[in-house]
Amino acid sequence: MNILDRLKSGITTSSVEATYQVACELAAQLPDEAVLTLEGDLGAGKTTFVKGLAQAWDIQEAVTSPTFNIYNLYQGTRQLAHMDAYRLEKSPEIWDELMLEELIFPPFCLAIEWPSKLPFIPWPITHRLQLTAQGEMRTISLA
């Protein structure tokens, strides 16, 4: 079964590496302009999944959670913009302030943790991912 069908049914991983592997498989299937939203509780594995995307695109820089600076940009074989909206106020001006549209060019992937904190997203969403945790298990699915 291909990765999208498997994600529709939900994939359960029992290690960080297995989560990286799922991200890698999805990374290979994304269009040149990809927006992923990642929903799930604290510690559900959203940032871990984004680290897996970074691996897939040969990004050498360490991916760290951008909680305080809202987003980080990385360049590999594809541009990766990793956003954590957790601390954002729902202000419509936010996208003008971030100036992301001037900074990202295809092929890119914008991966957004806590998308519900944003007033809107100025690109079509390619895939909505949902992550849940139970002990060491993480279940990743398409919402």
| Measured distance CA(130)–CA(143) in Å, rounded | 6
In the complex with Mg ion, the residue whose CB is nearer, 65 or 139, is 65
Interaction mask 18-57, Mg ion, x per CB under 5 A: ----------------------------xx----------
Q: Is 72 near Mg ion (CB under 5 A)?
A: no
Q: Is 46 near ligand ATP (CB under 6 A)?
A: yes
In the complex with ligand ATP, the residue whose CB is nearer, 97 or 136, is 136
The answer to whether the CB of 123 falls within 8 A of the CB of 33 is yes
Smallest gap from Cβ 121 to ligand ATP, in A, equals 18
Picking from 41, 21, 61, the residue whose alpha carbon sits closest to that of residue 113 is 41
| Measured distance CA(113)–CA(72) in Å, rounded | 12
